[in-house]
Every structure is written in C-alpha cells, then in structure tokens.
Amino acid sequence: MTTPILQVRGLSVAYGGIQAVKGIDLEVREGELVTLIGANGAGKTTTLKAITGTLPQCRIAGHVDYAGAPIHGLSSFALVKRGLAMVPEGRGVFARMTIRENLLMGAYSRNDKAGIEADIDKWFGIFPRLRERANQLAGTMSGGEQQMLAMARALMSHPKLLLLDEPSMGLSPLMVERIFEVVREVSAQGVTILLVEQNARMALQAAHRGYVMDSGAISMSGEASAMLDDPRVRQAYLGEE
C-alpha cells in the first residue's frame, strides 16, 4: 500500500456554536482518486477549506498532514509550491483577466517558459472552447467554461494533489460528462485527487475510494465500486428505492 499524501485525523470545525465537522479521519494515498460525497450542508466544503487552511485556525481542531508534514498556516502560494492545488466551489477564476492570463496565473510558481506555453497548448487541445476564447475575459464565460478554466488553471501548477470542490455544480449533463472525463484523465496521468461531489453516482464511478459525509461525520467509507452497490448508498445518495 502506498503512503498517504494527505492524512486528516480528528478534524473538527466549528462556526460559532455549530459543529460543522465532527472529528473526521480521512486519507488519500498517492495516485488515488478519492471522493467525498454527501448531502447539502454535510460539511464537505468546510472539510476542504480546513485542509487548505482557508478557515481561521481558531475554528479548527485536529491534524492535517500533507506529504508527511503539517500544513496549517501555509499560504496558498506555499501550498501550490509544495504541489497542492485547489479548485474551489464557484470556480474562483480571475474574472477581469482573459483566459490566457488566468492560465498564466496558474503557472506563477513555475519559470519554465517553454513548458508553460506547451501546457497552455495542451489545455487548449483538451478544451477547444478555451482556445477559441483565449482573449476573452474569464468573467464573461459560461459556468461550464469557467469550470474548465478553473481546472486547467489549477493543473498549470503541476500539482501532486488536486482538491476539487463540486466541479459538476450547475453544469449541463453534457458538460458534467466532459468534466468527469477530464477528472479521470488527470487521475490516469498520475495526479492524486480528492473530489468533493454531490453527484454521487458519477463521483463513485470515477473514484477508487469514497467517503460519505453526513451531518459533519464520516458515516461510511470504502472501495468506490462496493459503495455503488451498497443498498444504503443506493437509497440515500443514488436516488434508488
């Protein structure tokens, strides 16, 4: 078994009196695609924010180790330098920059100019829509286009671990298919991924392992294929009787 690249132990997050995450354990091993599924408000986004340190430390208890060392207190630049990139819910593209400029921003931790240009070209190949609109302001693109751009921008930093928060949210069925195809492709290229999703079926079909989050706690975990067959998952998260 490979070593965990991300290890979360006893993680709790409180917003005032509300305990949004209740002492969860979770790990992602090198090369894995792991999904965290659960209903609205279960605490998935809060978990990702606690991992990347985008919540005030006073709200958080427990341990998050990345590549064998604690990461709390590191800036997002330092995290990206260490190979950890995140695509937040709602994409977070730089609205007043063009698509090309957004991609260049994603590569700010690199200085191999030729490699950066080659990567931009690669992403334009994967998402032709981005090439067609290379000089358009990112804020004027559709939700699906912004999602593609956000993923491509995060991958421009050549992350070892990519955290994705609901990449399928608000997208058309066709676009959801495309986004999941790319997630699988990126995983097949060796990038380790932690994928937060409400689309449990697509997420479990793509992932190696999964965790179910329910009211701030992990209620179930296991191989994704086994979870797809689990009657409790089928009933609660796959909309089956």
Given the rule CB under 6 A, which residues bind ligand ATP?
A: 15, 18, 20, 38, 40-46, 198
C-beta closer to ligand ATP: residue 103 or 207: 207
C-beta closer to ligand ATP: residue 56 or 190: 56
C-beta closer to ligand ATP: residue 18 or 134: 18
Terminal Cα distance for the chain, rounded: 36
**Rounded to whole angstroms, what are the CA distances from 200 to 15, 38, 166, 226?**
26, 8, 11, 13
Q: State in angstroms the smallest separation of the CB of 113 from ligand ATP.
A: 38
H helix or E strand, kind and range, residue 15? strand 4-15
Burial 22-59 (b: 16+ CB within 10 A, else e): bebebbbbeebbbbbbbeeebbbbbbbbbbbbebeeeb
Write out the two tokens for 125. 């190949």
C-beta closer to ligand ATP: residue 4 or 38: 38
Q: State in angstroms the smallest separation of the CB of 15 from ligand ATP.
A: 3
Q: State in angstroms the smallest separation of the CB of 26 from ligand ATP.
A: 14
Q: State in angstroms the smallest separation of the CB of 16 from ligand ATP.
A: 6
